[in-house]
Each structure stands twice: as C-alpha cells, then as structure tokens.
Amino acid sequence: MNKKIIRPKKLRGTITPPGDKSISHRALMFNSIAGQTAHINGILESEDIHATINCLRQLGVAIDLQNDGSCRVKGSGINGLKATERDLDCGNSGTTMRLLMGLIANIDGTIRLIGDESLQSRPMERVYSLLNTMGANIFSEKSNGCAPIIVAGKQLTSNQSIEMTIASAQIKSALILAGLNSIGTLNIIEPLQSRDHTERMLSAMGAKINIDENNITVYGETNELQSIDIDVPSDISSAAPWIVAGILHPDAEIEIKNVCVNQTRSGILDIFLEMGARIEIMNKRLVGNEEVADLGIYSSSLSSINITQEFIPRAIDEIPLIALGACFAKGDTKISNISELKVKESNRLDNTIEIISQFGGEIFSNEDELLINGLNTLHGAKLYCGSDHRMTMLAGIASLLSEQESELIDVDAVNVSYPNFWNDFEKVCVS
C-alpha cells in the first residue's frame, strides 16, 4: 500500500491504540507454562504476536484466539513444553526469539529458531552467551551470533550473579525465565532498569522473585505458576505517534485512551513534559499489576533539552519520534547513549537521520548520539518506507506535520505492531 499525505487543518478525536506488544508476548508465554487456563483480553493482534502464538502452539500449548479479540491459553505446566522437529519461526520479532531462548533452554530435545531477514541480522549471542553460563547449550547455526539459533535443552543451574552490560528487558526476561526452572538462586544486575513487565507478571503468578530496582533475584526450582487473566492496556509505543503529532501540530486536541504508563516505559512523557509539552495524564489507575492512564495531548511549543542515558531504556522505541519532535523545538537537542538503536528491527539510528533529513530536518549523528537543530518547519518528501514498522510510522507522522504533500511508498510494515495505524491516522486528521 502507498499513501499521499497532506497536512490536515486540525487533529481531533480519541484514539485507543492497540494492546501493549511487550505485555501481550509475556501474557501468552508465561501463561503457557502455568498450571491452569487464562483469559487474555485486549491482546495485540499483529504479526509479531501471531509469531509468538504459532511458536507456542508448536510447543504443544492450546491457544484459542476468539473473534472478540480475547484469547484463552491452557497452561502446559512449568515443564510441559514439548520439543518439535519443525523450526519455530519468530518472523520479525526479537522479543519472541529472545524470550523463547530462556523459556525452552531446558526443554527435553533440540529446537531450531528461525526468523525473517531483519531478525537474522540481529544479535542473539547477548542472550545465549549468558544462558550458557547457567549450563544451557544454545548456539548460532552459522557461528555469527545470529539466527538460526539451535537450542539443545539442558538442565540449568544458577547460584551465580550475572552482571548485564546492556539494559535490555529481552535479555533480562530470558534470564529470569531460565532462572525459574534452574537449580539454585540467580542474581541479575542491570546497568539501568529496563521495562519490568516480566517481573510484575511473574510475581503476580506466584513466581519467587525479589526485585530491588535493577537487582533481581530469581529462586529456582519453581514447581508451578498460577495462570492469571490479563487485561492488556494500550501500548505507549503505539500511542507515541499520536503524542508527537498532537504536540507538534498547530491545532491539535487528541485523547489517547487506556495507555500503559508503567514508569519503566513512560520516558517519552517525561521528556516531552520537560521540553514544555501540554500533556494531561488523566484517570491514573492500576489494571492488573500495571499503571494505566488516559492522555490529553495538545498543540505545544517545545524547548530543546539534553536527553541523557537514564532516559534511554525508558523510551528506547520512541527515540525516532522524539527526534522528530526535537526538529520543532526551540534550540538544539542532543540525545545520547543510543547505540542500541542500531540493532533494532533496522538500524534506527541511520534510518531516523535518513527519514527526517528527507523532510528537510537538520539531524546528525556523532557515534552513539543524535544531534537535532530545531527548525520549526519540514517540507514534503517522497520516500520508500521498507520493513521497519516504527520507521514507517515515523515517516507517516513526519508527512502529517510537513508543509507540502508527501508520498510514502510501501507502508504495510505497520502490521508488525499496529495493523490499524492508517485507519487511526485518517480518523484524527480533520481537513
């Protein structure tokens, strides 16, 4: 699909973004190794989540997706997953592949994990090298640290402290899952706290985990996890395009409903509030074990700030859109310590520069930093969007804010995380 986009006169309306992708993956995986049946409402129905569902079904888990968007998962028990001869295809989803490594590290048998071209170029050794210190036998088939990944199941032992060098919820979650089913006690230390959905959900399921900010202790030999029903809130990463569009468009009032504002995810709100944005955080409430709120977003004038290391894990997937926001701020913005952007679904450091530059933004990189000169205006562009969902949404929002018409070619990658993105786009634009 291609799109021609002209800046609308106004942005108005209410959006309920789709279910949180991180919580959806976890709700499926963790309930798969629990003891009873769980109902999950509001699960994200997208290509990444279908990859997780298909892999879990191949491992023997009964998962029913209902027409009303709800889902039923019949847990197989903590040791109940069954090895399969067929490859597990994780598609484009890094979360699926990395968390599965921890989930099946001790399975009885050998499993091969594969993925699409993007996933095959992403680093997996950062996960399996740590799991292998616990006795796992996981390796890259081509010995290049990337997929295909072979998991030859082994009994794991912990009784050690693992100091992670990257703040990554995917690595941390794989270690926690492996730790649950190991002999001994595992201590995990993160350099900075990454998203904590795993810790919250597993604690609610009765796992023996102790959390002290970025220091986590997992007590192994877990016999059973309780299945839990989960209402998945909207994904702040899918709210992010509307947050940025609403702040930057000169005539905007948008309400975004039911957003997960867990403080390990809400860096985008803190960053824009510090830059002077008019964001209202309304009806804050706890849903399950997660904080949820509705957001009011209004046209704003921004001032530049330095976005430093401590913000990054809390806003990692939103950095490209935050960089777009900085194009409209008064002054120059620096975003530091973002080398992780290079190993996402695409090299998002290079692609953010490429896309924003095509719209006339002044944006540069310096090793692992982005430098953005505030300009207050972008011009139209014609560009090919490619396979990265978040880059496609970035191009969509940049077009919506540009002075002239833009033409975007091949915009379907949004299906990875936000299949309804272009419908919501039409819905908020008033011409």
**Selected range binding ligand S3P among 163-171, 238-246, 372-380, 418-426, rule: CB under 6 A:** 163-171
Question: Between the CA atoms of 396, 401, 404 and 405, what dihedral angle is there, to the nearest 10 degrees?
Answer: 20
The smaller minimum CB distance to ligand S3P, of residues 170 and 289, is found at: 170
Query: Is the bond into 148 cis (omega within 30 degrees of 0)?
Result: yes
Of 324-363, binders to ligand S3P (CB under 6 A) are 340
Contact 400, 429 (CB under 8 A): yes
Q: How far apart are CA 241 and CA 56, in angstroms?
A: 31
For residue 75, how many other CB atoms are within 10 A of its CB?
Answer: 22
Q: Could you give the string, one character per residue 171-200, with x where binding to ligand S3P holds by CB under 6 A and - elsewhere?
A: --x--------------------xx-----
DSSP state of 317: G
The smaller minimum CB distance to ligand S3P, of residues 94 and 361, is found at: 94
**Selected range binding ligand S3P among 66-74, 80-88, 167-175, 185-193, rule: CB under 6 A:** 167-175
99: which 2 tokens?
């968390």
Of 90-109, binders to ligand S3P (CB under 6 A) are 95
Q: Determine if residue 331 is left, alpha or beta; phi over 0 gives left, psi from -120 to 50 gives alpha, anything else beta.
A: left
**Selected range binding ligand S3P among 165-173, 247-255, 289-297, 359-367, rule: CB under 6 A:** 165-173
175: nearest Cα among 83, 101, 88: 101
**Selected range binding ligand S3P among 153-161, 169-177, 202-210, 350-358, rule: CB under 6 A:** 169-177
Name the helix (H) or strand (E) containing 139: strand 137-140
The smaller minimum CB distance to ligand S3P, of residues 84 and 168, is found at: 168
For residue 163, how many other CB atoms are within 10 A of its CB?
Answer: 10
Name the helix (H) or strand (E) containing 63: strand 62-65
**Selected range binding ligand S3P among 67-75, 166-174, 211-219, 295-303, rule: CB under 6 A:** 166-174
Q: How far apart are CA 225 and CA 202, in angstroms?
A: 8
317 is an interface residue for ligand S3P by CB under 6 A: yes
229 counts as catalytic: no
Q: Count interface residues toward ligand S3P (CB under 6 A).
A: 11
Q: How far apart are CA 156 and CA 179, in angstroms?
A: 8
Among 46, 52, 158, 168, the residue binding ligand S3P under the rule CB under 6 A is 168
Which of 294, 317, 388, 424 is flagged as catalytic? 317
Contact 331, 304 (CB under 8 A): yes
The smaller minimum CB distance to ligand S3P, of residues 173 and 182, is found at: 173
Helix (H, G, I), strand (E, B), or coil: what is residue 154?
coil
Q: How far apart are CA 279 and CA 270, in angstroms?
A: 10
The smaller minimum CB distance to ligand S3P, of residues 7 and 25, is found at: 25
CB of 301 to ligand S3P, least distance (A): 30
Among 16, 46, 118, 170, the residue binding ligand S3P under the rule CB under 6 A is 170
53: nearest Cα among 76, 23, 24: 24
The smaller minimum CB distance to ligand S3P, of residues 58 and 170, is found at: 170
The smaller minimum CB distance to ligand S3P, of residues 58 and 193, is found at: 193
222: which 2 tokens?
């877990």
Measured from each CB, the residue nearest to ligand S3P is: 22
Instruction: Give catalytic residues, as residue numbers.
Output: 317
Chain positions contacting ligand S3P, by CB under 6 A: 22, 95, 168-170, 173, 194-195, 316-317, 340
